[in-house]
Amino acid sequence: MAGTSAPTRTKADLLERLTTLCAVGDVSVDVVEAALVLSALRRLDIDLDPYRTHVATLNSEVGARVQHGGTPPDALREVLINAFGYSGDRETYDDLQNADLATVIDRRRGLPVALSLLWLHAARAQGWACVGVAFPGHFLVLLDADGTRTVLDPFNNGAALEPPDLRRLLKTVYGADAELRPQHIATMSDRDVLLRLENNIKVRQLRSGDAAGASTTLERMTAIAPDRPELWFEAGALNAQIDAVGAACRAFDRFLAVDAENPPSEDVEVSAARAKARRDATALLRELRRRLN
């Protein structure tokens, strides 16, 4: 999406902006703005203003459809699918562009979670409750508007999914014996939605052997959720793998500090896993610091 000129900004500025956006609470994050900042972290020279204008247009058009009598789900479909042509990218599903919101807006194609950001934002702009659904292997949204709760699939033309549809979708992921359970349609916080977006990129980078790229993606993930110790541990391990010793030490130090701030778990297995992670991080830190000296 062509713009005029991008403002002067640094990676540090953008990471700080991302952390600030995500610090307002688990549910009330401006997911589109945060995702556009993530796009800018991948391309520092990108001008985000045209994308913000486009999103505002989507929101306005959805509102206009509702004023003319459309139901909330139909209004979202009419604008995002029919008027602006957003769809799931089945042909090049694993292309990293499908998880970059700015590029998704340019191409009108993307992964389920990336497309869903626009649906979440447009719905919330109308005052409707809309959250992400942590369905296995396929991101969905739950719209609560006008007294009706509807699970929608932005990747598949905004289809409304009833329990039988969800069961069929689950069986395509887990096999014919899988049964739909409450955890399969649990809602997600906005920060977890953004983490899922970035995790799509990280997984593909690791699969292709791009450990350095995955480390950079983890840096963005720790900016989204700096209170998640597991992210800091993974960042430390990955930086150690690519011989970024200083970055690995900083990540492990941060892991130990954040983990110490979290309350003890009453779950024996979780408590044991945390204790092992602390021992591993401490041992790795000693080894890494020896390499620095």
With a cut of 90, say whether residue 2 has pLDDT above it.
Answer: no
Q: Can you give the pTM of this predicted structure?
A: 0.93
What is the spatial distance between Cα 271 and Cα 276, in angstroms, rounded to a whole number?
9
What is the domain count for the chain? 2
Mean pLDDT of 160-169: 93
Residues whose CB is less than 8 angstroms from the CB of residue 167 and which lie 6 or more positions away in sequence, other chains included: 179, 180
Residue 212, in any domain of the structure = no
Give one DSSP letter per residue of the chain, joined into a string. Answer: ---S-PPP--HHHHHHHHHHHHTT-SS---HHHHHHHHHHHH-TT---HHHHHHHHHHHHHHHHHHHTT--HHHHHIIIIIIIT--EE--TTTT-GGGG-HHHHHHHTEE-HHHHHHHHHHHHHHTT-EEEEE--TTS-EEEEEETTEEEEEEGGGTTEEE-HHHHHHHHHHHH-TT----GGGG-EE-HHHHHHHHHHHHHHHHHHTT-HHHHHHHHHHHHHH-TT-HHHHHHHHHHHHHTT-HHHHHHHHHHHHHHHHHSPPPS-HHHHHHHHHHHHHHHHHHHHHHHHH-
With a cut of 60, say whether residue 5 has pLDDT above it.
Answer: no
In this predicted structure, what is the pLDDT of residue 178? 87
Q: Could you list the residue range(s) of the whole structural domain that residue 173 is in? A: 11-188
Residue 220, in any domain of the structure = no
Residue 258, in any domain of the structure = yes
Residue 202, in any domain of the structure = no
Residue 107, in any domain of the structure = yes
Are residue 32 and residue 171 in the same domain, yes or no? yes
Are residue 238 and residue 161 in the same domain, yes or no? no
pLDDT tens-digit map of 94-150: 999 999 999 999 999 999 999 999 999 999 999 999 999 989 889 999 999 999 999
pLDDT tens-digit map of 168-190: 999 888 888 888 888 888 999 99
CB-CB contact of 158 with 146 (8 Å): no
**Residue 36: which of 55, 20, 8 has the closest Cα?**
55
Are residue 119 and residue 38 in the same domain, yes or no? yes
Are residue 174 and residue 29 in the same domain, yes or no? yes
Are residue 84 and residue 168 in the same domain, yes or no? yes
Structure tokens at 234: 């993974």
Are residue 180 and residue 231 in the same domain, yes or no? no
**Residue 93: which of 105, 74, 115, 111 has the closest Cα?**
111
Residue 37, in any domain of the structure = yes
Q: Looking at 169, 188, 207, which one is the last position of a domain?
A: 188
Residue 181, in any domain of the structure = yes
Structure tokens at 62: 């959805």
The 3 state secondary structure assigned to 144-158 is EECCEEEEEEHHHCC
Residue with tokens 């033309």: 157
Q: Looking at 164, 188, 212, which one is the last position of a domain?
A: 188
In this predicted structure, what is the pLDDT of residue 173? 80
Residue 6, in any domain of the structure = no
Q: Looking at 136, 157, 188, which one is the last position of a domain?
A: 188
In this predicted structure, what is the pLDDT of residue 1? 72
Are residue 22 and residue 87 in the same domain, yes or no? yes
In this predicted structure, what is the pLDDT of residue 42? 97
Are residue 22 and residue 110 in the same domain, yes or no? yes
pLDDT tens-digit map of 200-230: 999 999 999 999 999 999 999 999 999 999 9
Taking all residues of the chain, what is their mean pLDDT, rounded to a whole number?
Answer: 94
pLDDT tens-digit map of 277-287: 999 999 999 99
Lowest model confidence (mean pLDDT) among 49-53, 236-240, 289-293: 289-293
Are residue 178 and residue 258 in the same domain, yes or no? no
Are residue 50 and residue 172 in the same domain, yes or no? yes
Are residue 120 and residue 233 in the same domain, yes or no? no
**Residue 163: which of 185, 145, 133, 193 has the closest Cα?**
185
In this predicted structure, what is the pLDDT of residue 123? 98
Are residue 98 and residue 172 in the same domain, yes or no? yes
